[in-house]
Structure 1
Amino acid sequence: MNIRAPLCVLLVCTLAWMWPSTPAANQPERVEAPVPTGPPDGEPTEDQWNFEDEDDAWGFEDDQEDTETWSSLLGDQAWDLALFTGFATLTLISFFRKSVWLKYVTFAAAIGYMGFTKSQLISVVDVNRVLTGNMPVFRYSMAWYLFAGFTVVTTVLWGRLYCGRVCAFGALTQVMDRVVPSRLRFEIPTWLENRAAWIKYGLLAATLAYFLRTDTISAYRYVEPFWMFTLRGTTGMWIGLAALLVATVFVRNLYCRFLCPVGAALGLLSKLTVFRIKRWAECNSCKVCEKACEWGAIRGPEIVMTECVRCDDCERLYHDTSKCPHWLILARAKLRGQRSSPNLPATN
């Protein structure tokens, strides 16, 4: 095969591509010298180096906001933390002392401070927060976390102490129960009371389902009367609250026993209670405490922890040597033993 022609074509194309082109009329191209714009000594200007102001380069601002620190955050919330710590201490002292007058001092503090002053109560909204994980920022809500932690810990340790001591609305209804004459009360039959206690669990489930479905929490004002401590509500809400309080005159602790979704949630948590109320062997047949219980939490020998709010009424009876059959039986047995024992001879 004759390959000379392709080689010649390839050689010509290569030489044409490599050969430098010349300007028109074979005249050298005129190149103008650049006009100097820098300083005479040839040093670069700031614009050439694109220098910025030193503060701007580091992102500093003239008017800087103070950086938040834990000490400043604690300082801002110290008053709330101290006041609630004092209230929690009073609550525990009244609980362990089993003192009636101290319990009512705690009620007054709950209504005045937790209710009208702070308007801060555990709400079904808080239950929804726990279930959905939508918790408030800790560093801005330390008092709330202290309050919620106190509620959970005391419930696990002793039961629904929050309902019986801390809740401002519960404290209000218990004060009403002492003020209203007993002749006005209507005692609900046991069979109806046991069934009505399930209503609050239905309200808890329905409210949480509504929150999850609609992603709105505004409905809580219609299932909880705690808004009353803010003194802000619609006409319909005030009418409903008035009807509830009037009904509470005749059926004591009506809302807390049958309608409160927070009480239902804490009742479920109280199944984990560690330190339960002591029971004597005589409690199997005795009805003294069951008749005295204002919450319907004693059913025969059993104390229903989901309904018990640790009001101390039965515990005071347990230690009353003149009313509790346990102590009366022991006293009679001791007396019989003394009478039946032989007289011992005197010793010199």
Structure 2
Amino acid sequence: MIGVTVLTRYVVASSVWVLLLVLVTPVSVPTVLMAQPASTDPQPLSLDDLAALDALLEQDAEDGPTEFDRGAVLDVAGLGLVLAFAVFSFLKKSEPLKMVSLVLSVVYLGFTKASLVSVVDVFGALRWRLPAFQDGPAYYLLIVFTLASTVLWGRLYCGRICAFGALTQLMDRVLPARLRIEPPAWLDRRLVYLKYVVLGVAVLYFLSSGDTLVYRYIEPFWMFTRSGDAVMWALLTTLLLATVFVRNVYCRYLCSVGAGLGLLSNLTVFRIKRWGECDTCKLCEKTCEWGAIDGPKILMSECVRCDDCERLYADEDKCPHWLIEKRAAGQAAKP
């Protein structure tokens, strides 16, 4: 019995040791050979492939710009022609050419393209949210021209390019003069600051709310899209009726874009020449439709370079400067 017991203990002990050895001995894992990916090295193009590629490139070159590109090119070309003609008419100081320029602005920039500088552009600049250049080259051409021309000559955009301003100037040419009411000088000098209030309130409202749709109620430019609600149409009707009696009432007193350009026009390089006789002469001041002349001083923030006073300066039969010179020359010629 003792031998059996010892033998049993030996077998059990041996079994335990075998189990321990099995548990603690690392199992050798056979190495598995994974399928190797096929080579990704590019294969050289054959002569036939190269010929096909050349044919595709030639076809693309023949096709030229896409329809979108053609539209963008036409927009830039059309806008460029209108701007170029406006500058040409301005430099020539011609009243008939100016009228043609105003008509072009209304028809093309207004009712055809509805392309005007807006307070919304000011909002975009404040938040640096501007369209990509490739999406709007004509937009950037108009903005750059407006800023550059203002620095060079003053509010030329307001006087010739803006479609709404051009429309009100044309209205003034066809409406009977007897309907016109001129605000007294003291009132006019105060009303011109109202547009700066409109600009300031609009900017503060935008910065606090992020709402750009406020432009619909402070600008009439949407009229060229012929899309507005009842309130907008009512405001527009009121504004146009007021324009019948007070010339350029929106441009002079309410336009936020005009306010911004008025501030910039203080940097104008090529200003209107003044004669020594302008200190006492009131002829141009009475002629100015924009209230931009105060005695001998031209208010650049209000002047839209309409040419009226400059044509008078050049008129040797009306301007006192030339009349005085003629008289002096005549007296000097006498023996």
Q: Counterpart of 1:228?
A: 223
Q: Equivalences for 1:157-196 in 2 at 5 Å?
A: 157-196=152-191
Q: Counterpart of 1:12?
A: none
- Residue of 203, 211, 216 corresponding to 1:216: 211
- For the residue of structure 2 that corresponds to 1:134, the secondary structure is coil
Normalising by the residue count of structure 1, what TM-score does the alignment of the two structures yield?
A: 0.79
Q: Which residue identity lines up with residue 252 of structure 1 in the other structure?
A: R
Aligned-residue RMSD, C-alpha: 2.6
Q: Counterpart of 2:300?
A: 305
Q: Counterpart of 1:259?
A: 254
Q: Which residue identity lines up with residue 78 of structure 2 in the other structure?
A: L
Q: Equivalences for 1:49-64 in 2 at 5 Å?
A: 49=36
Instruction: Give the superposition deviation at 1:142.
Output: 1.4
Quick one: structure 1 residues 252 and 53, their matched pair in 2 at CA, closer, same or farther if it must change by over 3 Å?
same
Instruction: Give the superposition deviation at 1:176.
Output: 0.5
Q: Which moved more, 1:98-107 or 1:152-161?
A: 98-107
Q: Deviations over 1:100-141 (max 9, x none)?
A: 111111111101111111111000111122233222212222
- For the residue of structure 2 that corresponds to 1:23, the secondary structure is helix
Q: Counterpart of 2:243?
A: 248
Cα distance in 1 for partners of 2:36, 2:283 equals 94
Instruction: Give the superposition deviation at 1:75.
Output: 4.9
Q: Counterpart of 1:275?
A: 270
Q: Which residue identity lines up with residue 271 of structure 1 in the other structure?
A: N
Q: Equivalences for 1:119-158 in 2 at 5 Å?
A: 119-158=114-153
User: What is the percentage of aligned positions where both structures have the same residue?
Assistant: 52
Cα distance in 2 for partners of 1:236, 1:52 equals 70
- Residue of 318, 322, 331 corresponding to 2:326: 331
Q: Which residue identity lines up with residue 108 of structure 1 in the other structure?
A: V
Instruction: Give the superposition deviation at 1:25.
Output: 11
- For the residue of structure 1 that corresponds to 2:274, the secondary structure is coil
Cα distance in 2 for partners of 1:209, 1:26 equals 83
Instruction: Give the superposition deviation at 1:24.
Output: 4.1
Aligned residues: 295
Q: Which residue identity lines up with residue 260 of structure 1 in the other structure?
A: C
Task: Determine if the alignment matches structure 1 residue 204 to structure 2 residue 199.
Answer: yes
Q: Which residue identity lines up with residue 188 of structure 1 in the other structure?
A: P
Task: Determine if the alignment matches structure 1 residue 292 to structure 2 residue 283.
Answer: no
Q: Counterpart of 1:82?
A: 77
- For the residue of structure 1 that corresponds to 2:214, the secondary structure is helix
Q: Deviations over 1:39-63 (max 9, x none)?
A: xxxxx77xx23569999xxxxxxxx
- Residue of 87, 93, 96 corresponding to 1:98: 93
Cα distance in 1 for partners of 2:215, 2:278 equals 40
Q: Counterpart of 1:112?
A: 107
Normalising by the residue count of structure 2, what TM-score does the alignment of the two structures yield?
A: 0.82
Quick one: structure 1 residues 25 and 216, their matched pair in 2 at CA, closer, same or farther if it must change by over 3 Å?
closer
Q: Which residue identity lines up with residue 49 of structure 1 in the other structure?
A: Q
Q: Deviations over 1:138-195 (max 9, x none)?
A: 2222111111000000000000000000000000000001111111101100000000
Unaligned runs of 5+ in 1: 1-20, 38-43, 56-70, 342-348
Cα distance in 1 for partners of 2:98, 2:188 equals 26
